Amino acid sequence: MSLYDLVKFLHVLTVVFMAAPLYNLVVVNERARFGKAHLQVDLYFENLIRGNAIRCYIFQLTALVTGVLLTGLQGPWTLLFTNRVLLAKLLLLLVLTGLLSVVHFSLQPRIDGLLAQAEGDAIPQAIAAQIGPLRLKRKRLAATCLFLVITTVLLGVQVFSRFAAWLTFVLVVLAALFAWRVYRSRIPYGWM
């Protein structure tokens, strides 16, 4: 096993751990089925989702470091800019970090601030009405992130040998359909 193989293993493992958008969407779809929850239950769900942001930053950073290392081990660093697939992967990773930052630095603190004002057994209607649109935005961003992660995986397997353009296109469409499906349902059977 070469150093390249070892770093590639780390890179792929990191990517597996970047599945947070998938499972966060499953969690929020489960919460919707739960109906009007006790405040403590709601806070528990929020803790699960909030905690994933920091983990996600760390996995994104690891994907970047291992990706840059793989590039350097394979050829000149300039490959990062001359290999269009690598450049696209790098840009997609930066977009993912940007979307995560919107959630972590803007949406989540606003949701947390509103939840902190809630008292009693359930979230009062006036607060729930303000949290709803923020959660919807966060859910849409999570579905977008899921689509971008799948697309980046699709590019990952094409860094040095490309698929036919039509096949990449079909797989990107399937990725979008899957992200849409996860957005709408709790996918009890994995793909469905």
Examine residue 157 and tell whether it contacts ligand HEM (CB under 6 A).
yes
Q: Of 20, 28, 93, 100, which one interacts with ligand HEM (CB under 6 A)? A: 93
Between the two ends of the chain, the Cα-to-Cα distance in Å is: 37
Helices (H) and strands (E) counted in the chain, each on its own, are: 8, 0
Examine residue 70 and tell whether it contacts ligand HEM (CB under 6 A).
yes
Examine residue 8 and tell whether it contacts ligand HEM (CB under 6 A).
yes
Measured on CA atoms in the order 4, 6, 7, 12, is the torsion positive or negative?
Answer: positive
Q: What is the dihedral of CA 173, 177, 180, 181, to 10 degrees?
A: -160
Both tokens of 51, joined, read: 């905690």
Q: Of 10, 37, 43, 64, which one interacts with ligand HEM (CB under 6 A)? A: 64
Report, in Å, the least distance between residue 34 CB and ligand HEM.
31
Residues that bind ligand HEM (CB under 6 A): 8, 11-12, 15, 63-64, 67-68, 70-71, 74, 80, 86, 89-90, 93, 96, 149, 152-153, 156-157, 159-160
